Amino acid sequence: MPDLPPWSYRIQYLGEVTYPGNYEIGLAVRSVDSGSVHYELAVFRGGTCLGVAEAIGPRGKLRASHLPSPPAEP
């Protein structure tokens, strides 16, 4: 969440990211404890992984504005 920046992070660059460009970003929550959330992230271009990262941030409270919207009916 933008209002809860990470306390720490580690980045491993595997390739170059250029601008402009189309990229996909993957995000997974690795673990959650009483006060923090551990994330894993990756940046992809096509089938190529350009970088991976791990981050630890405060757990915080999830507000209704951060919940995903239900899918629209056709």
pLDDT band at 1 (very low <50, low <70, confident <90, very high): very low
| Per-residue model confidence (pLDDT) at position 4 | 64
End-to-end CA distance of the chain: 30
Are 23 and 43 spatial neighbours (Cβ–Cβ below 8 Å)?
yes
Evaluate the CA torsion angle 9, 10, 14, 17 in order and state its sign. positive
CA angle 59, 9, 5 (to 5 degrees): 45
What pTM was computed for the model? Answer: 0.60
pLDDT band at 24 (very low <50, low <70, confident <90, very high): very high
Tokens read off for 29: 């929550």
Tell me which residue has tokens 């894993």.
40
Higher confidence at residue 5 or residue 21? 21
Q: How far is CA 26 from the centre of its chain?
A: 6
Q: What does the pLDDT look like over 25-65, one tens digit per residue?
A: 898 888 888 888 888 989 999 889 999 998 888 887 666 55
